[in-house]
Structure 1
Amino acid sequence: MKLIKEEDIKMVDFKIVDINGQFRHVTIPASQFTVDTMKDGIGFDASNYGYAVVEKSDMVFIPDLDTAVMDPYCEISTLSITGNAMIIDYPENRPLDQYPRNIVRAAENYMKDSGIADTMLILPEFEFHMFDDAAWSVKPYEISANLDTEQAYWNSDSQGQGNVVAHQKHYHMAKPFDGTYECRSEMCLELEKMGIEIKYHHPEVGAAGQFEIEPMLGQMSKMADASMMIKYVIHNTALKYGKVATFMPKPVYGEAGNGMHVHMLLLKDGKPVFSDDEGYSHLSREAHYFIGGLLKHIASLCALTNPSTNSFKRLVPGFEAPVTVGYATSNRSAVIRIPAYAKTPELRRFEIRNPDATCNPYLCYAAILMAGLDGIKNKIDPEKNGWGPYDMNLYSLSDKEKAKLTQLPTRLDDALDALEADHDYLTAGGVFPLHLIENFIALKRKECLQLAAIPHPGEFDRYFNL
């Protein structure tokens, strides 16, 4: 309230996360923000967020003041606050167990209670495209999508200066070929104003406007909040520059897709749990068991880390996206990569490469932690289970050799089947409520059925003249 007065803030905007990991919001005049707002909260209909049946949908949103930041995209001075969803009860409201922020905190508490570690640090890499134009149509008489960015290779005949990037040759390209440098720098500066430290930004491989912004390592629950704001800032800054940003995993056929690789490490009393000079790639036994847990549950994890049908169009060979259930050092074709450059004990870690930013980051990060902890608890050794280490290019193996490997799911339906069969590691300690998992699966099944019923332009190309 002091900040509101000092900064002459006119509006307070409450951002709420739905089951798909998208921001919704409700705004009140700053004059109405009182102590009672923190106690009584803001009422909303949770059924429209995917969390509750209609007859039990009245919930309240309680702001978390630690998340308060100025929203730079509002012309009227606005304070933005995230928070938690609560079930209306007497004498006190109680947390909605399905709400993503509550789940990620429950996972952290489960980790602390296990005695294995007290902190999980993660670093998600945000890959995205920025287009000058994006349009699509799904009608009975028209099914189409059109994308364009002026520096894409397909514009070589129309750009008089020849200022285009060759197919799949955009990685770290400098000006004049990096035409959105200022836009991305502004994104990073705005994020740092919000307290989100940024490691770097750069052009990615895809020539049709693909980029990456990478934050610094951060505590898992705080990074989940930060992930939402990173996407919010990228979308809104792109719009300010006349662009449109998308985290869609595979928007451009024949070019690299957008992943959200997640680096991770555990700490206990401030000391690294994953470091051991004698272990493979200097990783400890606990680190290998954590990897084992991820690999054992990777098919069901995919339902939460890759929850779109488009996700699986990215997870194909040839574009540095993982397809094989395995681990290795410096190998981008395996689903778990151990970066060779993380040499110091406090930075030794690994990354899981299949996630993408269509996920709900709270559910994604919590599920990753729960799978890894299950691996440590049950001493799941990835090498003994035949998951590596694969220190070779898995894309170039012969068909006979590839047949010996386990592959990631190739469809969202398959990942949902796996989650239906394998979710005990998520419900351990009551972290993921079973009704949330069942509700999530039902929502995604419906999504798959709806999309499967739509004719695809590629089908016209293949079948129209038969």
Structure 2
Amino acid sequence: MTSENLSSEAEGVLDEIEEKDVDFLRLQFTDILGTVKNVSIPAEQAEKAFTEGIYFDGSSIDGFVRIQESDMRLEPDPTTFAVLPWRNSEKVTSARLICDVHDTTTDKPFTGDPRLVLQDAIDRANDLGYQVNAAPEPEFFLFEEDENGNATTTTHDSGGYFDLAPKDLAQDVRGDIIYGLEEMGFEVEASHHEVAEGQHEINFTYDDALSTADNVGTFRSVVRAIAAEHDLHATFMPKPIPRINGSGMHTHLSLFQDGENAFHDDDGEFNLSETARKFIAGILEHAPAITAVCNPTVNSYKRLVPGYEAPVYIAWSDVNRSALIRKPAARTPAASRIELRSPDPSCNPYLAFAVMIHAGLDGIENDLDCPDPVRENIYDFDEEKREEYGIDTLPENLGEAVDELEKDEVILDALGPHVGEKFVEAKNQEFQEYLVDVSQWEIDRYLEKY
């Protein structure tokens, strides 16, 4: 089953579909808010998908197009083919292909496609001679389901950081998730129980930024699906339970140039190069605006508070985990990297990586000065000492973060006019809805008191 119009990668996918008896293909893409969408087609339509694309109604997708501009086309990326590690009740085998979205009116890539936004950021880095690598650490909670199969906030276990069974009851669940990820081509480095009850982390190896963003979407889907097989609900909500640690997505970044790590310098402080320091300076400079994209929900800011290991202060260091950016220890020059600790797993990974890359490159291109590292625990600083050190804080809520985004031309340009406008519009609406809502906390506190 081949065609002269097919690439060798696409022909390889068609062969694999036949070898593995795939019944259906899920053509996957992501909306502006980071929700994974998919169109399912019979496997027999795979060649058509590669040669002609598959059309869909873009007006039904958040932030895409208006109803009079609805026809859009999915073009699968053959390098993203993977058989899904679960079957439905009829034992049907499905596989996944991640797609780029095209605008049928212009026959060009759709500017509102988050994957294109990241590709543009990568192209900018490539033009400067850099390859961008990324490695996120998405944390998640496992909760019990009620008798109707609905999610609760009852944690699946009472374990803590690095605990073992019997406190950590989720070892088997994490094991099944890891097997599923490995079946899809992931190389898993480690998994463990996190600090909070019911909270977990599974780390996979770094890759180029686009492949890593694709992997984040896949990771979230696999975790949810396999948790459901155990009658559990997995959530990447940043702070599902008050007054305990929330879930972050610490993101490790590095630039390579001519096969060498551009962030490494044997003679530099922490073995960091000047390129790395300028990259750090760029992220620190644009941190308030980046926060709107990397922490995009009202709930995100319940995590970004002092006392729960999440960063609040715009500073950097080596071992200091109270700083926004950390330089982790590295055994080899190739492993030198920086870790941005503010993102959470509710973010759209394509947009989050894009704004990180553009911010860092802005620091390099404009030769920004990197401030001195802060080795003390910033949580212990009072306001006067923070001012002395020149340490600002991240936005306290989604409304403030969106205001910062609207003021930052570099980060808005990183998103592009379409995504920037639609993202700001959606997040302003979300924050306004939050402001006019009345929470259960308010009912409990004020209803009988006043």
Shorter-chain TM-score above 0.5: yes
Equivalent residue for 1:334, pick from 300, 304, 323? 323
- Give the residue type in structure 2 aligned to 1:362: Y
- Give the residue type in structure 1 aligned to 2:103: I
Partner of 1:128: 140
Verify: 1:4 aligned to 2:17, yes or no: yes
Deviations 1:205-239 (A, max 9, x none): 002x0010111111100001111111111111111
Deviations 1:117-153 (A, max 9, x none): 1x11111001110011379xxxxxxxxx95112534x
Change (3 A) 1:134 1:393: farther
Within 5 Å, give how 1:82-101 maps onto structure 2: 82-89=98-105, 93-101=107-115
Secondary structure of 2:210 counterpart: helix
- Give the residue type in structure 1 aligned to 2:135: L
Secondary structure of 1:201 counterpart: strand
Report the CA distance between 1:403 and its aligned residue.
4.8
Report the CA distance between 1:31 and its aligned residue.
2.4
Partner of 2:281: 292
Partner of 1:406: 392
- Give the residue type in structure 2 aligned to 1:369: I
Within 5 Å, give how 1:262-281 maps onto structure 2: 262-281=251-270
Report the CA distance between 1:29 and its aligned residue.
1.6
CA contact (8 A) 1:273 1:284 kept: yes
Secondary structure of 2:72 counterpart: strand
- Give the residue type in structure 2 aligned to 1:73: W
Partner of 2:8: none
Partner of 1:175: 165
Verify: 1:423 aligned to 2:423, yes or no: no
Q: CA–CA distance in 2 between the matches of 1:435 and 1:89?
A: 16
Q: CA–CA distance in 2 between the matches of 1:289 and 1:62?
A: 37
Q: CA–CA distance in 1 between the matches of 2:93 and 2:266?
A: 52
Partner of 1:67: 80
Verify: 1:453 aligned to 2:431, yes or no: no
TM-score scaled to structure 2, two decimals?
0.91
Secondary structure of 2:307 counterpart: coil
Report the CA distance between 1:382 and its aligned residue.
2.2
Partner of 1:108: 122
Equivalent residue for 1:439, pick from 404, 408, 422? 422
- Give the residue type in structure 2 aligned to 1:198: V
Verify: 1:149 aligned to 2:140, yes or no: no
Report the CA distance between 1:89 and its aligned residue.
4.0
Report the CA distance between 1:103 and its aligned residue.
1.5
- Give the residue type in structure 2 aligned to 1:27: S
TM-score scaled to structure 1, two decimals?
0.88
Report the CA distance between 1:416 and its aligned residue.
0.5
CA contact (8 A) 1:64 1:84 kept: yes
Verify: 1:206 aligned to 2:196, yes or no: yes
Deviations 1:297-325 (A, max 9, x none): 00000111010010011000111100100
Q: CA–CA distance in 2 between the matches of 1:403 and 1:232?
A: 43
Change (3 A) 1:39 1:150: closer
Q: CA–CA distance in 1 between the matches of 2:257 and 2:384?
A: 44
Q: CA–CA distance in 2 between the matches of 1:336 and 1:186?
A: 32
Within 5 Å, give how 1:176-325 maps onto structure 2: 176-207=166-197, 209-325=198-314
Partner of 2:11: none
- Give the residue type in structure 1 aligned to 2:382: S
Equivalent residue for 1:80, pick from 96, 115, 119? 96
Partner of 1:379: 367
The answer to which of 401-410 and 296-305 deviates more is: 401-410
Partner of 1:156: none
How many equivalent pairs are there?
428
State the superposition RMSD in angstroms.
1.8
Gaps of 5+ in 2: 1-13
Gaps of 5+ in 1: 136-144, 153-164
The answer to which of 418-427 and 284-293 deviates more is: 418-427
Q: CA–CA distance in 1 between the matches of 2:79 and 2:156?
A: 41
Q: CA–CA distance in 2 between the matches of 1:6 and 1:279?
A: 52
Q: CA–CA distance in 1 between the matches of 2:173 and 2:192?
A: 11
Verify: 1:391 aligned to 2:375, yes or no: yes
The answer to which of 250-259 and 13-22 deviates more is: 13-22
